[in-house]
Structure 1
Amino acid sequence: MRKEDCFYLGKIVSKFSFKGELLIKLDTDDPQHYLKMESVFVEYRKKLVPFFIQKSSLQKSELLRVKFEDIDTEEDAEDLIKREVYLPLEELPTLENDQFYFHEIIGYRATDKSFGAIGLLTGVNTTSPQALFEIDHNGKQVLIPLNDDFIAQVDKENKIIHLDVPEGLIEMYLE
């Protein structure tokens, strides 16, 4: 399995018991959706390795407590801590009309109610405290906070994201 064909589900953050159980911090709004998984891919030595799940349960609502097959000791579990966990893209839940996954909107055209055509959405920056749309406007990068109040409409059919951002925000990047 290639990483490009998967989505990031979370990170293994700690051991839970002396029997090899682990806690995965999920990067999702709906942890319940991932309770019945049969397997996940764990990034190990720059490769995605499948791990089959014997049992899982939610711990403190955003942590998934898992027991992987063949991980039976604290030592086995220790080797997996801080590793990232992935699932194939086809495992993503279907979203409502204006909802989207970040990877889906890359390549969409971005427009603003007042400014007009902004440019091509090239990425979503999630490394800052506020996620940001990265938009290419004739070679200049425009960053717009990913805020529900700024998103007027997501037109998936025509691959356009319609925004309504505060006056002057876009122009600030173009001066």
Structure 2
Amino acid sequence: MKKEECFYLGKIVSKFSFKGEVLIKLDTDEPESYVKMESVFVDYNNNLVPFFIERSTLHKSDLLRVKFEDVDSEEDANDLMKAEIYLPLTLLPKLEGDQFYFHEVIGFKIIDNAYGEVGVIKSINDSTAQALFEIDRNGTEILIPMNDEFIDKIDRDSKEVRVNTPEGLIDLYL
């Protein structure tokens, strides 16, 4: 399994017991959706390694207390500290309407209601306070904030994102 085929679920943040249990800080709005998992991929020495789950429960709302198979001591658990947890993209729930996962709109065209075709989404920059569409327009990079007020429609069939940007925003880049 490659990282590109997976989504980031969280990170092992601490040990919970001397029997090898760990706490995973989940990166999700719905932690309860992940309590009944049978396995996860752990980023271990830059490889995604499958780990099977014996049992798991929610701990303080956004932490998942997990007992992995064959992780039976504090030493075993120490080895996993700060490791990132992944699941296959196929396990993401399908989103409807104008909700989307960042990875699924890469390659979509951006069409502005006033400007017309802007370019193709090459990536999403979510390292800033406001996530940005990074758009390629014939070698020129254009950044459009991923603001709900700007996004009119996601058309998965025609692979287009229709936006209504403030006047002059796109012209700043051209």
Task: Give the TM-score of the pair, scaled to structure 1.
Answer: 0.93
Give the distance between the partners of 1:55 and 1:142, measured in 2 at CA.
Answer: 47
Distance 1:11 1:123 in 2: 23
Q: What is the CA–CA distance in structure 2 between the aligned matches of 1:25 and 1:165, rounded to whole Å? A: 36
Mean alpha-carbon deviation: is it higher for 90-99 or for 34-43? 90-99
Q: Deviations over 1:23-67 (max 9, x none)?
A: 212222221211110000001111111101111122232222211
Any idea what SS the aligned residue of 1:87 has?
strand
Identical-residue share of aligned pairs (%): 63
The alpha carbon displacement at 1:19 in A equals 2.1
1:129 paired residue number: 129
> 1:155 — aligned with what?
155
In the other structure, the counterpart of 1:86 is 86
1:14 paired to 2:14: yes
Distance 1:120 1:108 in 2: 6
State the Cα distance separating 1:69 from its structure 2 match: 1.0
Deviations 1:139-166 (Å, cap 9, x if unpaired)?
1111112121211000000000011122
The 2-side partners of 1:34 and 1:144 are apart by 33
**Whole-Å separation in 2 of the counterparts to 1:35 and 1:83:** 19
For 1:150, give the aligned amino acid.
F
Partners of 1:21 and 1:134 lie apart in 2 by 40
Aligned partner of 1:132: which letter?
L
The answer on 1:95 being equivalent to 2:95 is yes
Superposition misfits of 4+ residues, deviation over 4 angstroms:
none
Paired AA for residue 168 in structure 2 = G
What SS does the aligned partner of 1:149 have? coil
Which amino acid is 1:133 matched to?
Answer: F
Once the two structures are superposed, residues 115-155 of structure 1 have per-residue CA deviations (whole angstroms, 9 ceiling, x without a partner) of: 22110000111222222111112211111121212110000
Larger mean CA deviation between 65-74 and 150-159 belongs to 65-74
Deviates more, 1:150-159 or 1:18-27: 18-27
What is the TM-score normalised by the length of structure 2?
0.93
How far apart in 2 are the matches of 1:64 and 1:171?
Answer: 47
- In the alignment, which residue of structure 2 is the partner of 1:35? 35
Residue 52 of structure 2 is matched in structure 1 by 52
Alignment coverage as a number of residue pairs: 174
Measured in 2, the distance between the counterparts of 1:39 and 1:152 equals: 38
Aligned-residue RMSD, C-alpha: 1.3
